[in-house]
Amino acid sequence: MRALITGGAGFIGSHLADGLLAAGHEVNILDDLSTGAIENVDPLIGKAGFRYWIDSVMNEPLLAELVDRADVVFHLAAAVGVQLIVDRPTHTIETNVGGTEAVLRQAAKKKKKVVIASTSEVYGKSMDLPFREDADLVLGATSRHRWAYACSKMLDEFLGLATHREKGVPVVVVRLFNTIGPRQTGRYGMVVPRFVEQALRGEPITIYGDGRQSRSFTWVGDVVRALTLLATEPRAVGEVFNVGHGAEITIAELAEEIRRLTGSTSPLIRVPYERAYGPGFEDMPRRVPDLTKIRRLIGYVPSVALPVMLQAIIDDARLRHGLEASDPALHFAAAGG
């Protein structure tokens, strides 16, 4: 398989590139490094079957060439992170919708398969749990910029599925639930790397809101496996799939667990949403996937428990900071997924 990964120098994209190359596939990545980092793919540079371009998906002449060379396009390029979304809602909408339009426009020329990475954010304020792919989606008011990301990703899904129906382009949509693992940055609001960095530095661990909001965290290796299998499964075309874990933990419990695993004495500090993100910010109280559909199609079952995920992330952070990992064998075993 010849794969193009947009956003391939990002957290998930670089792990996907690792996995595809290890399986013997050819990989091209396209990334403008706005939120990705070239360090994420440094170990791949020079390997047979791997090439990279530092540019935007909005450069359509280049995109057209790369799509033409691909058998499947994994479209991961997007504005990511709550902080970035709140600070730059216009950029979020233009990047997500415009990028997906460009990818689908080029893929339609020769009916190239496209796997679109969407998000659990599209379920919005729904309380119909666990979230099913065919459930109604409930967003907040347009005056609350926090929902711009969810709305843009919903439109990405509509565009992808409409392009499949009208133009025969094989499209698969995946809704990712809070993917975590090594290489993820807390710079744009991702909670696990932010908590880990704060704990290792002995700084206060800042919990936004009351900490009772719960999430279901997914190991990046499981996401890579799901994306790869869905890309090669003909019955996945034209469908939407949740990719997640299922086990819930509150953000306050997450902070306590990270403090325990790091051996940190950092205090836990609660910060009101208004102070973190501005007036009127709304959050999802729970976010839990129904995995029935993807399990029935490709046999997907989450493979890593949350404490193992967290320990691998902590050990990776310690190694990057020149600290001694608590259990390097565990780190490398978990990172291999």
In degrees and rounded to multiples of 5, residue 308 shows phi and psi of -70, -40
Segments forming the whole domain that contains residue 15: 2-181+217-246+288-305
At a CB cut-off of 8 Å and minimum separation 6, what does 196 contact? 186, 258, 262, 310, 313, 314, 317
In terms of DSSP H, where are the helices of the chain? 11-22, 60-69, 82-87, 89-109, 148-167, 191-201, 220-231, 251-262, 273-277, 292-298, 306-320, 328-335
Residue 269 lies in a domain: no
**What is the residue-wise DSSP string for 132-197?**
PTTS--B---TTSGGGHHHHHHHHHHHHHHHHHHHH---EEEEEE--EE-TT--STTS-HHHHHHH
Residue 149 designated active-site: yes
Tokens of 139: 């967003």
Tell the residue number behind the tokens 């975590």, with chain if given: 180
Say whether 6 sits in a helix, a strand or coil: strand
Residue 220, amino acid: V
pLDDT of residue 329: 39
Is residue 265 a part of any domain in this protein? no
Give me the pLDDT at residue 178, please: 96
At residue 325, the pLDDT reads: 57
Query: Is residue 260 one of the residues assigned to a domain?
Result: no
Amino acid sitting at position 70: A
Query: What number of residues does the chain have?
Result: 337
Give the pLDDT score at 274. 87
Marked catalytic residue, from 123, 149, 277, 300: 149
The C-alpha atoms of residue 268 and residue 258 are separated, in whole angstroms, by 11
Whether residue 110 lies inside any domain: the answer is: yes
Listed residue (161, 246, 159, 259) closest to 201, CA to CA: 259
Tell me how far apart the alpha carbons of residues 160 and 104 are, in angstroms, rounded to a whole number. Answer: 7
- pTM exceeding 0.85: yes
Which CATH number is 30's domain given?
Answer: 3.40.50.720
Considering the domain boundaries, does residue 270 fall inside one? no
| Number of domains within the chain | 1
pLDDT at position 283 is 87
Can you tell me whether residue 289 is helix, strand or coil? strand
* Distance of alpha carbon 40 from alpha carbon 84, whole angstroms: 20
Per-residue pLDDT of the chain (337 residues; tens, 9 = 90+): 999 999 999 999 999 999 999 999 999 999 999 989 999 999 999 999 999 999 999 999 999 999 999 999 999 999 876 777 777 888 888 999 999 999 999 999 999 999 999 999 999 999 999 999 999 999 999 988 889 889 999 999 999 999 999 999 999 999 999 999 999 988 777 999 999 999 999 999 999 999 999 999 999 999 999 999 999 999 999 999 999 999 999 999 999 999 999 999 999 999 998 888 888 788 889 999 999 999 999 999 999 999 999 999 999 999 988 876 554 434 433 344 4
Whether residue 39 lies inside any domain: the answer is yes
Tokens of 64: 């057209």
Structural domain contains residue 108: yes
- Hey, how many other C-beta atoms are within 10 angstroms of the C-beta on 90? 9
Is 62 domain-assigned?
Answer: yes
The torsion angles phi and psi of 34, rounded to 5 degrees, stand at -70, -40
